[in-house]
Amino acid sequence: MSGHSVEEIRRETRVYILVFVALAVLTLVTVGVSYLHLSFGAAVGLALFIASIKGSLVAAFFMHLISERRLVYAVLILTMIFFVALILLPLGGYHDRLG
Amino acid sequence: MQIPYTVEPRPDTGLYNAKLGVWLFLASEVMLFGALFSALILLRTGATSWPHGYEVLNVPLATINTMVLITSSVSMVMSWAALRLGDFGKYRKWMGLTFLLGLIFMVIKTIEYAAKFEHHLYPSHDNFMATYFTLTGLHGLHVLGGMIVIAYLLGPGSKMWMTEPERYTNRVEVIGLYWHFVDLVWIFLFPTLYLL
Amino acid sequence: MSASEEQAVGAQDHAAEHHELPFWQRYIFSQDHKVIGLQYAFTALCFLLFGFCLMLIMRWQLAFPGRPVPIIGGLLGSANAPGGIMLPEFYNQLGAMHGTIMVFLAVVPLLVGAYGNYLVPLQIGAPDMAFPKLNMASYWCYLPGGLIMLASFFVPGGAANSGWTSYPPLSNIATSGQTWWLVGMIFLITSSLLGSVNFIVTIFQLRAEGLDFMRLPMFVWSQLVTSFLLLLAFPPLEAAGILQLMDRVAGTSFFMPSGLVVSGEVLEVAGGGNPLLWQHLFWFLAHPEVYVLILPAMGIVAEIIANNTRKPLWGYRPMVYSAVFLGFMSFIVWAHHMFLTGMGTAISSFFQTTTMIISVPSVVILSALLISLWGGSIRFNTPMLFALAFLPMFGIGGLTGLPLGLAPSDIHLHDTYYVIGHFHYVVAPGTIFAIFAGIYYWFPKITGRQMSERLGKLHFWPSLIFMNGIFMPMFVQGLAGVSRRLYDGGAQYSHAQGVLHWNAFMSMSAFGLLVAQIPFIINLFVSIRWGVKVGSNPWDATTLEWVAAPSPPVAHGNFPELPVVTRGPYEYSPPESDESFLPQNAVA
C-alpha cells in the first residue's frame, strides 16, 4: 500500500475527511434519537444500526478494509462467525430453558 | 539469517508479517470484547430491572469523548498518509495530535469516573454500574496502551525513520489499525452503555 | 527483531566469525525459537511431574481415606493435613490445581510451546519464528503465570479449590487462592495469545519456497489449527476471568444471583448476576482447548507413523480437511458440558447434533492413521510403540465420549468418574503418550544423540499397563454413579460400595506409573551426555527438519541455507525411485 502514488494518497486523505464528517454527524444523530425515548426494541435496533454504519466506515476506510488482502478477510470472516455464535448461543440457552 | 517479510509483503499473501500479526491480534480482541458484550446482553436480558444509560450516565460528556476519539482516528490516518508522502514533520504533528486526543479522552473519562464515585456509584452498586466500569475501564486500558506505543514511536522509536523508513511507516500503519479498532469498540460501547 | 537483524548483518559481514551472545541472552532471555522451545519443554515437564504428584496424593486419600499420607505427609503442613491426614479442603485444592496445572501449565505448553516452537520453523524451512521478541515474551508470561499458580498454595486458605472449571458462585466466595488462580490464568492467556499470533504468522509468511499448503507436514497443520483455536477461544475466558476478578475484588455481581444464601446468611451483594454466564464463557474456551490438547498429539503421531511404516500417510488430504473442520466445529459444541443446567430441548438438540458431527472428523483422522499401518514394513522402535499405543487409547477416549455428548445418557453420567475416565483416556494415555513418542523421536534432532531403546521399552510397556490400570476402572465406578469430586472416593454412599474396591487398585496403578517413569527420566538425562551419536537424519525421515538442517540445528538461522521444497511431506518408498525415501527438498 505504501507504493501508492502521491495523487492517490491525496485523494485518500480527502476521503478520510468525508468519513470523519459522516462519523460526527452520525454520532449527533444517534445521541439525538436517544432523546426521543422510542420503545426499547426500536431504540436498540436504531442505535445498533447507526453504530454498525459508523463501525463499517471506520473499518472500511480508516482500517482500509475496503481494499485488503484475501487472508485478512478470511481471518475476519472466521472471527465474525464465532463472534455471532458467542453472542447468540448463550442467549439461545437463556431463552430456551426448562422450568 | 534475517527473517523474511518484515518490511516487504510476501507475494502470495500480499502482507508483511506485522500486518498479519496485528489483524490476528485484533481478531482475538474482537472475541474478547465480544464475550463482554455477550455478558452484557445476557445480564440485561435476565435482569428484573436495568436503568437506561442516559438516566445514570453523563451523555453530553460521553458525546464529547466520542468526538475526541473519532478525531483521533482521523489524525492517525492523516499521520500515516503524511509519512507515506515522506513528510516527517507533518507526520509528527498529526501523531502528536493523536496522542493529545488520547490524553483528553482519558482525562474526560477520569472526570466521569470521579463524578460517579462522588455519588457513591461503585462497580458493586448494581450490574449496570458493574458492566459500565468493567467495559469502559478495559477500553480505557486499551487507549492507554495505544498511547504508550504512540509515545514510543514519536520518541525513541522515531530513529528508525532515518534508517528504515519503510519499516517505520509499516509500524505506524500497524499501530493505526489498533487505534482504529479501539475507536470502533467505543463506537459500539457508547450507544449500548449510554444511550439505551 | 533488531537484535536478530544485527546478527544477520553480522553473519553476512564475517561469515566465518561466530557471533557469541552473552549467557543470559543465549539461554535465559533467548529469542531463538529452539532455546525457547527447550525452555518450555523443561518447565512444562517439571509441571507435568508436579501435577502428577498432586494426583498421587489424592489417589492415596481415595484408596485409603483417613490414613496419614506416607513419606511426605508431614511436609503438607498442619493447615492442610494435620498429622499427615488430609483435610477435605486440601483435597479440593489438589483437585483444582491438578487439572489446572496439567492442562494449562503442562500439556498445552508442551504441545504448543515446546513442540510447536522447536519444530514448526524447522519443518517449514524458516530461519526462526516471525516475531522472536514476542516469542520470548510468551515464555516469560508463561513462567510467572505458573509460579503464581504454585505460590497460591502458600496463601491463607491455600490454592484455588473450586475445580479447574472454577464455577461460580462457589469460586466467587472461595478463599483468596482463587484470586491468584485468576491472575495466573490472565498471564497464561496472554502467553498463549502471543504464541498463537506468532505461529499463524510464521506458518503463513515464512514457509520455504515451494512449500505450499498441501505439502505441509501434518504436524504443522495441527499447529496451525491449534493456534487459531487458542487465538479465538481464549479471549472469552480472559473476559470471564476479568469479570470473576471484578466479582471477587470490586464486589460486583456478574456471576452472583440474587438472594444467595451461604452458611445460613444472605450474601451482601447487589445480585442479579448469572452463574451460567461463566459456564458459557468458560466452555467456549475449554471445549476448543480439548482439541488443542489432541490435535498436535495427532500431528506428532502422524509424523512418527509415516516415518516408521516407511510409506506415505493414507489419506493425507482428508486428514488435513478433518483437522480444519474439527477446529471449526469445536467452537460450537461447548454447551454439551451444560446439559444439566436446565437447557431446553431445542438448544440441547443443537449442541447434541454438533457434538455428534464433530466426532466424524476425529474418526476420519484415527481411521486414516490406522489404515496407514496396512502393508507397511513397520519399525517397532520406542517412538513408534508410543505412537501405536496412542491409537487405541485415543479410540477408547473418543468412543466413551459419545454417551456424554447425548443429553439422555449424560444426565446419568454427568460429573461421575466415567467423565474422568473418558477425558483422561484422551489426554493421558492419548496425548501424553504422543508427547513421549515425540521426545524419543526428536531427541536426536535436538542433541545429535539417540535415547536408549532398551530403557525406552522399559518405559513404554509398564506405562501402558499402568495407565489402563488407572483409568479403565473409572468407567466401572462412573457407570455405578460414583461422583468425581468425593473426598473419600465414595465410601459413605451405598451405591458406591460395590465398586469401592477398585480405588486401591487404581491408586496402586498410579504409583506403578510413577515407578515406570524412572527409566524415562534416567534415559533422558543420561542420553544427553552419553547417548549414541547419530547423523543428522537417523530415522531416514523426509521432512525438512531432518533433511535440510544438521542435528542439532544451527543457532539463530536453523539452516546453512534456506531449503527449497520440491515434493510432499511423506514420500517414503516411492515407486518411481530406487531410494527408500525422497526428502522434501530432493532435487526433482
Asked whether C41 and C110 are in contact (CB, 8 A), the reply is yes
Q: Which subunits sit against C, judged by 3+ Cβ pairs under 8 A?
A: A, B
Q: Would the CB atoms of C347 and A86 count as touching at under 8 Å?
A: no
Name chain B's partners: 3 or more CB pairs within 8 A: A, C
**Domain boundaries defined on chain A:** 1-68, 69-99
What pLDDT, on a 0 to 100 scale, did the predictor assign at position A3? 52
Residue A50 has what pLDDT?
A: 97
**C450 strand-pairing partners:** C532
Q: What is the pLDDT of residue C1?
A: 38
In chain A, which residues have their Cβ closer than 8 Å to the Cβ of B42?
90-91, 94
In this predicted model, what pLDDT tens digit does every residue of A47-69 receive, in sequence order? Answer: 999 999 999 999 999 999 999 99
Query: What is d(CA B191, CA A28) in angstroms, rounded to the nearest whole number?
Result: 11
Query: Nearest CB to C251: which of B5, B13, B123?
Result: B123
Across the range C162-167, mean pLDDT stands at 95
B56 vs chain C: nearest CA distance in angstroms? 17
Cβ separation of B124 and C235 shorter than 8 Å? no
pLDDT in tens, B48-66: 999 999 999 999 999 999 9
Residues of B in contact with C286 (CB under 8 A): none
CA distance A36 to chain B (A): 11
Whether A91 shows a pLDDT value over 90: the answer reads yes
Confidence category of residue B7, pLDDT binned at 50, 70, 90: very high
ipTM: 0.96
Q: What percent of chain C has pLDDT over 90?
A: 88
Contacts A98 to C, Cβ<8 Å: 342-344
At residue C588, the pLDDT reads 67
Query: Which DSSP symbol is given to C551?
Result: S
Structure confidence at residue A98 (pLDDT): 84
Tell me the average pLDDT across C139-162: 96
Give the model's pLDDT for residue A1. Answer: 45
Q: Are C389 and C336 in contact (CB under 8 A)?
A: no
Report the residue count for chain C: 588
A56: region left, alpha or beta (phi > 0 left; psi from -120 to 50 alpha): alpha
pLDDT at B152: 98
Any B CB within 8 A of A66 CB: no
Give dist(CA C36, CA C43) in Å, integer. Answer: 11
Residue C576 buriedness (CB in 10 A; 0-12 / 13-18 / 19+): exposed
Q: Are strands C261-262 and C449-450 parallel, antiparallel or unpaired?
A: unpaired
Q: Which of residues 36-55 of A touch B (CB under 8 A)?
A: 40, 43-44, 47-48, 50-51, 54-55
Query: CB under 8 Å to C571, separation ≥6 — which residues?
Result: C312, C542, C581, C582, C584
- pLDDT for residue C18 is more than 60: no
Residue C57 has pLDDT above 50, yes or no: yes
Q: Which member of B63, B77, B190 has the closest CB to residue A62?
A: B77
Q: Looking at chain B from residue 42 to 81, which residues have their Cβ under 8 Å from any Cβ of chain A? A: 42, 45-46, 54, 59, 63, 66-67, 70-71, 73-74, 76-78, 81
Q: Which of B168-172, B182-186, C469-473, C488-492 has the lowest mean pLDDT?
A: C488-492
Among candidates C4, C9, C272 on the partner chain, residue whose Cβ is nearest the Cβ of B3: C4
Name the CA radius of gyration of chain B, rounded.
19
Predicted confidence at residue C12, as pLDDT, reads: 41
**pLDDT of C303 over the 50 cut:** yes
Q: Are C132 and C117 in contact (CB under 8 A)?
A: no
CATH class of C33-256+272-547: mainly alpha
- CB contact (8 A) between residue C557 and residue B46: no
Average pLDDT over residues C412-431: 96
C249 inside 8 A of chain B by CB: no
Q: Are C69 and C76 in contact (CB under 8 A)?
A: yes
State pLDDT tens for residues C259-271. Answer: 899 989 888 888 8
Q: What pLDDT, on the 0 to 100 scale, is given for residue A23?
A: 97
Residues in a beta bridge with C483: C416
Which of A69, A75, A86 is facing B34, going by the closest CB pair? A86
Confidence of residue A37 (pLDDT cuts 50, 70, 90): confident
Among C6, C32, C252, C284, the strongest candidate for a mutation testing the B interface, having the largest count of B CBs within 10 A, is C252
Q: Which amino acid is at A37?
A: H
Hey, is the C-beta of C242 within 8 angstroms of any chain B C-beta?
yes
Mean pLDDT, chain A, as a whole number? 92
- Convert the pLDDT of each residue in C170-207 to its tens digit: 999 999 999 999 999 999 999 999 999 999 999 999 99
- pLDDT of C100: 97
Share of chain C above pLDDT 70, in %: 97
- Cβ distance of B81 and A86 shorter than 8 Å: no
**pLDDT average, residue stretch B114-135:** 96
Q: What average pLDDT does range C297-308 have in this prediction?
A: 97
Query: Contacts of residue B164 in chain C, CB cutoff 8 Å?
Result: none
- Name the residue in chain B with its Cα closest to that of C227: B24
Residue type, position B112, single letter? E
pLDDT at C158: 93
C4 has a pLDDT exceeding 70:
no
Would you tell me which residues 134-193 of chain B have a C-beta closer than 8 angstroms to some C-beta of chain A?
A: 166, 169-170, 173, 176-177, 180-181, 183-184, 187-188, 190-192
- Is it the case that residue A84 has pLDDT exceeding 90? yes
Scanning C116-145 for CB atoms below 8 A from B yields 126-128, 130-132
Q: For B184, which of A1, A58, A76 is closest by C-beta distance? A: A58
Q: Please state, rounded to an integer, the average pLDDT across all residues of chain C.
A: 93
Query: How far apart (Å, rounded) are the C-alpha atoms in residues C588 and C585?
Result: 9
pLDDT in tens, C318-345: 999 999 999 999 999 999 999 999 999 9
pLDDT of residue C16: 37
Verify whether the Cβ–Cβ distance C251 to B122 is below 8 Å: yes
Lowest mean per-residue pLDDT among B1-15, C447-461, C509-523: B1-15
Q: Say whether A16 and B13 touch across the interface (CB within 8 A).
A: no
The mean pLDDT of C431-452, rounded to a whole number, is 97
Span B188-194, mean pLDDT? 96
How high is the pLDDT of residue C556? Answer: 80
- Which domains does chain B show, CATH number per domain? 17-47+58-195 (1.20.120.80)
Q: Which residues of B touch C204 (CB under 8 A)?
A: 10, 13, 20
CB contact under 8 A, A96 and C338: no
Q: What is the spatial distance between Cα C14 and Cα C22, in angstroms, rounded to a whole number? A: 19
Q: What is the mean pLDDT of residues C380-386?
A: 98
For chain C, domain boundaries = 33-256+272-547
Chain B CB contacts of A19 under 8 Å are 74
Is A43 close to B30, i.e. CB distance below 8 A?
no
CB neighbour burial string for C283-300, b if at least 16 within 10 angstroms, e if fewer: bbbbbbbbbbbbbbbbbb
Question: pLDDT tens for residues B78-104?
Answer: 999 999 999 999 999 999 999 999 999
Higher pLDDT, C10 or C317: C317
Is C232's CB within 8 Å of A78's CB? yes
Measured between beta carbons, the chain A residues lying within 8 angstroms of B85 are 6, 9
Exposed/middle/buried for residue C345 (C-beta within 10 Å: 0-12, 13-18, 19+): exposed
C63-C65-C70 Cα angle (round to 5): 80
C75-129 pLDDT, tens per residue?
A: 998 999 999 999 999 999 999 999 999 999 999 999 999 999 999 999 999 999 9
Residues 6+ apart with CB under 8 A from B40: B131, B135, B192
Contact B29 C235 (CB under 8 A): yes
* Residues 6+ positions from C363 with CB-CB distance below 8 Å: C398
Task: Reply yes or no on whether the pLDDT at C310 is more than 80.
Answer: yes
